[in-house]
Amino acid sequence: MTENVNPIREAVREHYASQARSTTSCCGDNELYNPDLLTELPAEVTNFSLGCGDPITLAGLQPGETVLDLGSGGGLDCFLAAKKVGETGKVIGVDMTPEMLNRARNAALRLGATNVEFRQGYLEDLPVEAGSTDVVISNCVINLSPDKEQVFKEVFRVLKPGGRVSVSDVLVDGELPESLKNDPQAWSACVAGAISTEEYSGGLSSAGFTDITVRSREGEVPTAGRPYAGLITARKP
């Protein structure tokens, strides 16, 4: 993994390392998911939810697909995806935080999840082969990157032609105050790194994606200047 010291990134990494050493949720909870998805998974996995939505249902995963989870954290979405793609499929989780990776790998061993693996890396420099992935999912993580344009380029690179994106993320209607954008704690809280619907769509489009949709998770009209949970889909031609 190429090291690139960034004060915001380091603050985010330390925040989530602390979360990994804890047993409580941060940005969300398992009520975001259809209860049917959570059956057969232990409470230690399902109760450690750091997301802001349900990218699994959004993705419509099929048996045999290869799925990449950006910012896989404790592994919940990876294990849910693994159930969907089955033994003929594969799930790769990428996270930059060693403590999160340790937690996820230990859970995978306890679950006997042989079609899941976890790799250390940055979203801007994914440790994944080009054109190797059917679906890229992410849950409240891309907003944490200080270089989202590079993230979108990397997602495009690793997807197969016709591959798709299914993401839950924090967005903002309009602009956040500059003071907030430069606050490492606000970045860790999934607020300061939020970008607008237009920026998100534009970034995906510039990377080469088509069929882009960005909408509010709850279907409400976003309030100007306030972050909200969004659902994002796109496809690589």
Percent of the chain with pLDDT over 90: 56
pTM comes to 0.86
pLDDT (tens digit, 9 = 90+) per residue, 123-158?
A: 999 999 999 999 999 999 998 898 999 999 999 999
How buried is 119 (Cβ within 10 angstroms: 0-12 exposed, 13-18 middle, 19+ buried)? middle
Range of weakest confidence among 2-6, 117-121, 175-179, 232-236: 2-6
pLDDT (tens digit, 9 = 90+) per residue, 157-174?
A: 999 999 999 999 999 887
Classified by CATH at the fold level, domain 7-235 comes out as Rossmann fold (3.40.50)
Q: Which pLDDT value is given to residue 182?
A: 61
3-class DSSP state for residue 64? coil
Torsion angles phi and psi, residue 178, rounded to 5: -60, -35
Q: Which pLDDT value is given to residue 36?
A: 86
Higher pLDDT, 188 or 227: 227
Contacts of 96 (CB under 8 A, 6+ apart): 1, 9, 13, 71, 120, 121, 122, 123
Q: Which pLDDT value is given to residue 85?
A: 98
Q: Which pLDDT value is given to residue 5?
A: 64
Q: Which pLDDT value is given to residue 142?
A: 94
Q: Where are the domains of the chain?
A: 7-235
pLDDT at residue 120 above 90? yes
